[in-house]
Structure 1
Amino acid sequence: MSEYAGKTLLFVGGGMEALPGIEKARELGLHVVVSDMNPQAPGLQAADGRLIASTYDVGATLTEARRYNREVRPIDGVMCLATDVPLTVAAVAADLGLPGIPVEVAARAMDKLAMKEKFATDGVSIPWFSAVESAEHLQTLVKERGLPLVLKPVDSRGGRGVQRLTPEVNLVSAYERAIVQSPGGRVMVEQYLPGPQISTESIVLDGICHTPGFADRNYEFIDRYAPHFIENGGTMPSFLPGEARESVRDLVQKAATSLGVTRGVVKGDMVLSDGKPYVIELAARLSGGWFCTHEIPLNVGVDLVLAMIRLSLGLSVEEKALQPQFEQGVALRLIFPEPGRVIAIEGENTARALPGIAMVRLTVNPGDIVRLPTDSNASAGLVIAVADNREEAIRRAEKAVNAITVKTEGL
């Protein structure tokens, strides 16, 4: 009998990017329950059981999970994918006695200020940072520290409200843009560190980080869409030499230990500045942006989604399953049309037919409104390309993006 037979797994969040994990779990023979506030969420349509509750509403999700566990069938595991809700997941796990990270660890992972304070206490390399109490306080900090700095909401996600402060940025307006994106009305500022930024993804087993996910983040539009940080993709393998990669992985290990994750997943946003790695943020969840579902498996053949499904059910994960099986080039590039109303989309089939194209996904349709990007969710679509090496993967991805035209007209 399969070790998955008869088991029930709850996914908190049923968005499109969670769908590959939900489908994988069902293919394993699991009974899959999905919670989401949107009854039309793709994950809900693919699930065996459906709970209607906001992923960010811990109480509502707990109520629905308890009911399902009591009245329908016992829940054996809970996880999330491409949704920044580790606190909701941890609360359900704690309440139902399931495997998971401690609630206090999940809460710290969702509070950028508390996370940085813990890192500072434990000697984890991070940029200088400070809480910001008001626009006037921000102006004082800028006078004391100088520019550039990075302003961000303490408890937001997806790059919402994050801005690079330079001399031409109005600090009062920047503060207002940041605080409106914070559910708790809290803002912080930190030193801007120049240098290549890296996305990592690790599975932690018995306190040891295994980090097969390692990508260079692409910020070629950082000036075009200033002051907002608009990432337009990522590339694997990294251009960094082996010694630099190891220094980043070592810092991920130190940060995961400080955060308190000893069994689970950590997703790192890192920067290498003047040859030294720093932690920008560390999330206690599987990533979005197709990183863990597509890019990492294409790059090194490691299935972090399967590993997390097993951990969530209390099943073992072998270290060898987290070691790279091969290495090939992977490039993801986002599509940013001119702002306006979409009147036509051309070239999608042409892009799909190009060599090495693993994914083409458009997220807009004629009639939709495209606005000037202010966060990482503002693209009109993406392509993922694969090749024998990173340079050819980049070339293929850029060729596919250039083949697609999203025509817009002014509003």
Structure 2
Amino acid sequence: MTRTLLIVSGGAAAAVAAARARDLGHTVVVSDSDPQAPAFAFADSCLIADAHGAVETAAAAERYSRKIRKIDGVLCLADYALAAATVTDRLRLPGLPLHVAELASDRLAIRRCFQSAGIPAPWHAEISTPQELQRVIIARGKAVAIMPVENLGSHGRQLMTDAEDPAAAFQVTREASPSQRVMVEQVPEGTPVMLDCWMQNGACQIAGNADTRDIAGRAVSALGISDGPAVCEIVMQPGSPQVTAIAARLGSEAFLDRAIAAALGSP
């Protein structure tokens, strides 16, 4: 049976998902603020909406679902979990609970969850001025990164080892944050490993190194995600790996068919 899938954001990964969903016989709607978004080429319908604005995306989806074609499911392949969850909440569709998406969209809240659950993660702090950043660099060296408090992936993230002017870098990162909030984090030594995770009834499956399944599953569970996709970055260190990043979204194509089915309400 043909169903209608909304994909929030229209980047390269979304283009792959849109093409696959159409191959499976579904109608595909893609929302993005960029009229030239790659996934629009594979969409049956396009919505111009900024995924950074969860309410804007939800309003556009609601209008489409009410006036043009009923949306049956929502999929997100970029760091816009809150926008996707706002849509599913408003349209009463399967998806991440809104309060979990809000948590997963805030790096400081994520770190507090990790601390409560005993999950190893790098040292971090919120900073409000370039002077605070300079004091951190003096105390901890330049092996630190600054980033928006919002969990926006690599957007606005800067390594201080690459920054000629930390004060200018701070201003750039603050401008990249919708709330003008900045945090600094130690960059641990070691090789980062990106893991695609799939949670089902609280059990974690991963595409990648099976040795990291336990810590990845604990990290995803700490955010309250019991079902659906997540992406977890782990830095392998002697003795204890550290979870350096996590996102409540689909990563590679490893679990794509499963994610499409789950979004549309199939087991």
Residue of structure 1 in register with 2:188 after alignment: 193
Residue of structure 2 in register with 1:130 after alignment: 125
Residue of structure 2 in register with 1:235 after alignment: none
CA distance in 2, matches of 1:278, 1:148: 16
1:14 CA displacement? 2.1
Residue of structure 2 in register with 1:208 after alignment: 203
Query: Which deviates more, 189-198 or 87-96?
Result: 189-198
Partner SS for 2:176: coil
Residue of structure 2 in register with 1:377 after alignment: none
Q: 1:97 aligns with which of 89, 92, 97?
A: 92
- Contact 2:32–2:51, Cα closer than 8 Å, also in 1: yes
Q: 1:48 aligns with which of 36, 39, 44?
A: 44
Mark the runs of 5 or more structure 1 residues left unpaired by the alignment: 215-244, 294-302, 317-411
1:137 CA displacement? 1.7
Distance 1:167 1:313, change over 3 A: closer
CA distance in 2, matches of 1:15, 1:101: 21
Q: 1:162 aligns with which of 148, 152, 157?
A: 157
Sequence identity of aligned pairs in percent? 36
CA distance in 2, matches of 1:62, 1:195: 40
Residue of structure 2 in register with 1:276 after alignment: 240
Deviations 1:217-268 (CA, angstroms, capped at 9, x unpaired): xxxxxxxxxxxxxxxxxxxxxxxxxxxx51x221111101101111111101
Residue of structure 2 in register with 1:400 after alignment: none
Residue of structure 2 in register with 1:310 after alignment: 261
1:17 CA displacement? 2.7
Q: Does residue 228 of structure 2 align to residue 255 of structure 1?
A: no
1:156 CA displacement? 5.7
Deviations 1:77-97 (CA, angstroms, capped at 9, x unpaired): 10122x211111101111111
Residue of structure 2 in register with 1:334 after alignment: none
Deviations 1:327-356 (CA, angstroms, capped at 9, x unpaired): xxxxxxxxxxxxxxxxxxxxxxxxxxxxxx
CA distance in 1, matches of 2:96, 2:151: 21
Alignment of 1:132-151 (within 5 A): 132-151=127-146
Partner SS for 1:193: coil
Distance 1:167 1:90, change over 3 A: closer
Q: Name the structure, 1 or 2, with higher relative contact order (CA <8 Å, separation 6+).
A: 2
Distance 1:149 1:25, change over 3 A: same
Partner SS for 2:16: helix
1:67 CA displacement? 1.4
1:276 CA displacement? 1.4
- Contact 1:156–1:181, Cα closer than 8 Å, also in 2: no
RMSD: 2.0
Q: 1:266 aligns with which of 230, 233, 243?
A: 230
Distance 1:163 1:59, change over 3 A: closer
CA distance in 2, matches of 1:99, 1:45: 26
Residue of structure 1 in register with 2:65 after alignment: 69
Deviations 1:19-44 (CA, angstroms, capped at 9, x unpaired): 11111111111121111223333322
Distance 1:64 1:165, change over 3 A: closer
CA distance in 1, matches of 2:143, 2:41: 46
CA distance in 2, matches of 1:42, 1:170: 35
1:271 CA displacement? 0.3
CA distance in 2, matches of 1:99, 1:168: 43
Aligned residues: 267
1:205 CA displacement? 0.5
Partner SS for 2:167: helix
1:147 CA displacement? 4.6
Q: Does residue 46 of structure 2 align to residue 30 of structure 1?
A: no
User: How high is the TM-score relative to the length of structure 1?
Assistant: 0.61
Distance 1:27 1:195, change over 3 A: same
* Rg (Cα) greater in structure: 1
Letter in 1 for 2:131: E
Letter in 2 for 1:267: V
- Contact 1:101–1:261, Cα closer than 8 Å, also in 2: yes
